[in-house]
Amino acid sequence: MVHLAAVPAEVTAKPTARLFVDMVLRHHGIPIGIVSDRDPRFTARFWQEVFTLLGTQMSMSNADHPQTNGQTERVNRVLVDALKSYAHSFHQWSDCLPMAEFAIKNSVHVSTGHTPFNVNAMRHPRVPSVLGAIAPSLSGRGYPIFIQTE
């Protein structure tokens, strides 16, 4: 499951640990395995010890062969395309991360035939197009009525 966050390039181990807890651990529990690039924040002895204590296997992708982490490479391509369509300027890209994340989580994956949202939550999310089909009743009681189109 993809979780996106705007992080400064100079982020240190402590904020990285906080992000890991906030973005991964609290939603999914302790992962069985993580595939990462060879970023020093994850190759540091600190992280090796943390993942050993948690029983999480840490695998590193090869810098000369980024296809090792094919899922991340695909997500990165989709993310770049999504940000290009959402962000109207370079300075605005981080504001678009929540919608880009939602779009990625609500896109069917070829490997499963399902969206990550559906696989994880066992349901489909409500989306704006569905919300637009529901309007308050004319009687003012707040009961939904469905708009029929021909």
User: Is the pLDDT at 56 greater than 90, yes or no?
Assistant: yes
Superfamily of domain 13-105: Ribonuclease H-like superfamily/Ribonuclease H (3.30.420.10)
User: Is the pLDDT at 141 greater than 60, yes or no?
Assistant: no
Q: pTM for the whole thing?
A: 0.71
Q: Spell out the alpha helix ranges (H) of the chain.
A: 13-20, 26-28, 40-43, 45-54, 70-86, 97-105, 116-121, 128-131
Taking each continuous run of H as one helix and of E as one strand, the counts in the chain are 8, 4
Pairing of strands 144-146, 134-136: antiparallel
Domain ranges of the chain: 13-105
- The pLDDT tens digits of the residues spanning 80-122 come to 888 888 777 777 888 889 988 998 999 998 889 999 999 999 9
Cβ atoms of residues 6 and 97 within 8 Å: yes
User: Is the pLDDT at 55 greater than 90, yes or no?
Assistant: yes
